[in-house]
Amino acid sequence: MLDRKSNFDFLASHDALLAQLGATAEQAFIPDPNTTLFKVRQLAEALAQDIASRIGISTNDQNRQIDLLNQIHQQISLDKNVLDLFHFIRKVGNEAVHNFSSSHREAKKALKNAWMLSVWFHRNFGEAAGKNFKAGKFIEPVDPSENVRELEERIKTLERAKQKDSQRLKIVEALKEAEAKKVEAEKQRADEMASEREIWEALAQEAESKLTQITANFEKNNKQAAEAFQQLPEKDKTVLFNTLSQSTLDPSEADTRLIIDQQLNNAGWQADTENITYAKGARPEPKTCKAIAEWPTASGPADYVLFDGLTPVAVIEAKKQSKNVYSAIDQAKRYAKGFDTQGVAIIETSYTKGNGEYKVPLTFATNGNPYFKQLEQESGIWFLDVREPTNQRRALQGWYKPEEIREYLSHSIAESEQKLNDMDFAYDFTLRPYQIDAIKAVENSIRQGDQTALVAMATGTGKTKTTIALVYRLLKSDRFRRILFLVDRSALGEQAADDFKETRMENLNTFADIFDLKDLKTAVPDTDTKVHIATVQGMVKRILYANKLEDRPSIGQYDCIVIDECHRGYLIDREMSDTEVKFRDQADYISKYRSVIEYFDAYKIGLTATPALHTSQIFGNPVYSYSYTEAVVDGFLIDHKPPVRIITKLAQDNIKCRVPCDHGHIPERSYALYQAREILQDMLNDSKKKV
């Protein structure tokens, strides 16, 4: 078992250390899965160091893996799935170091992820042959714990049945039999691990004896790669960065499921397409959020069904990476219609009560690819709420967390929009007619199902009061549950927070008295937070350069974003706090600015006085405009008069004279200017005499 071919042999063409770390991780799998996780982490760290040296990033013993990954990502914008693999391996490796024991299931998953990462590395950094490298199928190690886990699921199923079934005696006997088999399976696992341990320890000792020399060669090769990079012309460096930025993971169909599993786990769902399946006894449990694979429906087994406790809330259709995701929603809809309840509760909504066509309210479709605007229908995660026939499918950049789906399903959009429509504009401050028109235009855009709205109002026309009233109405009507107020300057964020805290809305209560507000000092909103103020720079760091996967905000954290001065995406704040991130240039800023805005599954409202080119590209044409000229005509702004130039006859004739100067020299001056000075001096002298 230990002498089989390694999945990581191809890494030897890069460096002996990489191949050895992969092989050692495999060899340790049966006798010590904890060591497997530790070695997999070392492999990922070595891969990151190798990549860094090839793109001009210095490495040393003081580099933390998270910092190195952030530097690499900032340089070449790693594919999201690649970055997630790096982070997953880093996380489970760290846990293995501190927990001292790990499961075979976890170690097997880490091995697969490390292999996919290694294949991506080989295709992008190998010699010419590596570009077209055919990895083949991952050779899975024999899992000695698989029988134990299956029997554990069998026991759980029998225990649930014992509480409901009338044939309790028969079930109790089956339960005793399963428990006895489990004891035998555990003994067999222990014997197998013990028999492998002796061989493994001998191999490990041999590998460790060679490690010093292999590591020295690895460091030497990295140094040479760094020197070679420095010798490249700037044009070639740019080509290299662009090529790497466009590289994707390109997994097989089976590996795509592994990626989807990890994405769901990151969002807070228990997902394992191999083990958490209907066929293996997986069932929904109270207070547990599961993604159960292959759940039976009238149209065949659904790839996943998301359960919030005992309630099915969503159906997921998973496709190959090359398949169209947009159209796959139709298959998910069929599963949602033909969902086989198997005795679980069905969520009660106004739509399912009145129509009864769909038994599960939400549908998703994905092929594991990160979202790309250029390949919109072939990437991302497509979503459709089937409760209302007028709802439109849309692409997401991530998965909703369980609590966010819970909140999403807890209120009716139709009821909220009716409240909004019935609401008057009587507040403690008076809104001008055009401000009311601007608010109505945005609200109408929301009703029509648009995803963005741009409001262009001239400077001095009161965008702040308009915005506060709009946000207040959207929250009071429960149309949105949490709003991100985004600025590109810390000073603007502080000013906005003061405005929200000081503006009195109703009964002399300020906005901040009525709704929970979090300002720039708070990185993550609380459950009760309604408005969160943040900078673009800070949000870029949280989304693209999070130190932990769990620190990255989910796509459902905000359902509305208001971007103040949204035309200012081309400006770079040079005074940024430690929680923010710097940018290479203007293009880099605009790119990441747009990434932040498009990351969340939220309605976007842009506010500006002067729309820029990238503003209309993101938000479309303004839903409402109020120009400086209109404000002057309406009497809300005072127009400035053009300057009047007075030209004297002497100036026209270019007549000049030499006049005395207080500084001891005689400059050329206009006679008219000299006369004016003399007149003013006489007036001053006269006033002194009167006094």
Distance CA(447)–CA(356), nearest Å, equals: 25
Position 568 scores a pLDDT of 65
Closest Cα partner for 414 from 438, 449, 383, 362?
449
The one-character DSSP state at 530 is S
Res 113 pLDDT > 90? yes
Strands 509-510 and 504-506: antiparallel
Position 32 scores a pLDDT of 86
Which of 137-151, 471-485, 509-523, 568-582 bottoms out in mean pLDDT, i.e. has the lowest? 568-582
Residues 296 and 338 in one domain: yes
Position 292 scores a pLDDT of 95
Mean pLDDT confidence for 416-434: 93
CB atoms within 10 A of CB 184: 13
Cα distances from 243 to residues 180, 240, 247, 373, 462, in angstroms, run 57, 5, 7, 18, 46
571 confidence band (pLDDT: 50, 70, 90) = very low
CB atoms within 10 A of CB 460: 12
> What total of structural domains would you count in the chain?
4
347 confidence band (pLDDT: 50, 70, 90) = low
Domain end position, chosen among 363, 379, 409: 409
Position 155 scores a pLDDT of 76
> Residue 588 in contact with residue 437, Cβ under 8 Å?
no
Query: C-alpha angle with apex 12: 18 to 112, nearest 5 degrees?
Result: 55
Helix (H) or strand (E) holding 303: strand 302-308
Residue pointed to by tokens 């490249």: 232
Name beta bridge partners: 292: 305
186 confidence band (pLDDT: 50, 70, 90) = confident
In a domain, 605, yes or no: yes
Residues 465 and 577 in one domain: yes
Residues 445 and 394 in one domain: no
Query: C-alpha angle with apex 659: 656 to 663, nearest 5 degrees?
Result: 130
Position 570 scores a pLDDT of 42
In a domain, 476, yes or no: yes
Q: What are the b/e assignments for 256-278, b being 16+ CB within 10 Å?
A: bbbbbbbbbbbbbbbbbbbbbbb
350 confidence band (pLDDT: 50, 70, 90) = very low
Residues 396 and 509 in one domain: no
Mean pLDDT confidence for 91-95: 88
In a domain, 175, yes or no: no
Res 207 pLDDT > 60? yes
In a domain, 153, yes or no: no
Position 512 scores a pLDDT of 94
> Residue 555 in contact with residue 601, Cβ under 8 Å?
yes
Mean pLDDT confidence for 582-593: 68
The tokens for 332 are: 């998910």
Mean pLDDT confidence for 451-457: 94
Residues 579 and 672 in one domain: no
- Provide Rg for the chain, Cα atoms: 33
In a domain, 170, yes or no: no
Residues 26 and 43 in one domain: yes
The tokens for 642 are: 């053009």
Averaged pLDDT of the chain = 83
337 confidence band (pLDDT: 50, 70, 90) = very high
More confident residue, 128 or 259: 259
More confident residue, 474 or 142: 474
Query: Strand, coil or helix: what is 277?
Result: strand
Domain end position, chosen among 350, 376, 409: 409
Task: Write the CB contacts of 42 (distance below 8 Å, at least 6 apart in sequence).
Answer: 21, 93
Give the domain extent around 591.
418-633
More confident residue, 631 or 201: 631
Distance CA(670)–CA(691), nearest Å, equals: 33
Distance CA(556)–CA(525), nearest Å, equals: 12
The tokens for 454 are: 């741009």
Name beta bridge partners: 66: none
Cα distances from 4 to residues 25, 135, 248, 293, 648, in angstroms, run 13, 17, 30, 31, 101
Mean pLDDT confidence for 582-602: 77
DSSP 127-155: -HHHHT-------PPP-TTHHHHHHHHHH
Mean pLDDT confidence for 192-203: 70
Position 559 scores a pLDDT of 94
Q: What is the CB-side half-sphere exposure of residue 92 using CA atoms within 13 A? A: 30
Which of 147-151, 392-396, 630-634 bottoms out in mean pLDDT, i.e. has the lowest? 147-151
Helix axes 33-54, 65-76, angle to 10 degrees: 40
> Residue 394 in contact with residue 556, Cβ under 8 Å?
no
Percent of the chain with pLDDT over 70: 84
Which of 69-73, 113-117, 665-669 bottoms out in mean pLDDT, i.e. has the lowest? 665-669
Query: What CATH number did the domain enclosing 485 receive?
Result: 3.40.50.300
Residues 239 and 346 in one domain: no
Residues 539 and 568 in one domain: yes
212-238 per-position pLDDT tens digit:
788 888 989 888 888 888 898 988 888
Name beta bridge partners: 531: 483, 517
Which of 166-175, 283-292, 483-492, 578-587 bottoms out in mean pLDDT, i.e. has the lowest? 578-587
346 confidence band (pLDDT: 50, 70, 90) = low
Position 653 scores a pLDDT of 72
Which one of 528-542, 577-591, 612-626 scores highest in mean pLDDT?
528-542
157 confidence band (pLDDT: 50, 70, 90) = confident
Position 686 scores a pLDDT of 65
In a domain, 125, yes or no: yes
> Residue 372: which region, alpha, beta or left (left: phi > 0; alpha: psi -120 to 50)?
beta
Distance CA(442)–CA(239), nearest Å, equals: 43
Residues 227 and 310 in one domain: no
508 confidence band (pLDDT: 50, 70, 90) = very high
366-414 per-position pLDDT tens digit:
988 888 877 888 888 999 999 888 888 999 999 999 999 999 998 888 8
Residues 476 and 621 in one domain: yes
In a domain, 641, yes or no: no
CA 89, 94, 99, 100: dihedral to nearest 10 degrees? 80
In a domain, 326, yes or no: yes
Provide the H-helix boundaries in 477-544. Answer: 490-502, 511-514, 536-544
Domain end position, chosen among 227, 245, 263: 245
Distance CA(502)–CA(468), nearest Å, equals: 11
The tokens for 191 are: 């014997």
Position 674 scores a pLDDT of 58
More confident residue, 592 or 318: 318
Strands 560-563 and 603-608: parallel
Distance CA(136)–CA(7), nearest Å, equals: 10
Query: Strand, coil or helix: what is 293?
Result: strand
Helix axes 65-76, 234-245, angle to 10 degrees: 110
Residues 562 and 676 in one domain: no
Q: Give the type of residue at 502.
A: E
Distance CA(482)–CA(558), nearest Å, equals: 5
Percent of the chain with pLDDT over 90: 40
More confident residue, 618 or 441: 441
356 confidence band (pLDDT: 50, 70, 90) = low
Helix (H) or strand (E) holding 362: strand 362-366
Q: What are the b/e assignments for 203-235, b being 16+ CB within 10 Å?
A: ebeebeeeeeebeeebeebbeebbeebeeeeee
Position 285 scores a pLDDT of 87
158-181 per-position pLDDT tens digit:
776 666 655 667 777 777 777 787
Strands 362-366 and 381-385: antiparallel
274-318 per-position pLDDT tens digit:
889 998 888 898 889 999 999 999 999 999 999 999 899 999 999
Query: Strand, coil or helix: what is 206?
Result: helix
Residues 453 and 600 in one domain: yes
Q: Give the type of residue at 237.
A: K
Mean pLDDT confidence for 567-580: 50
Position 1 scores a pLDDT of 42
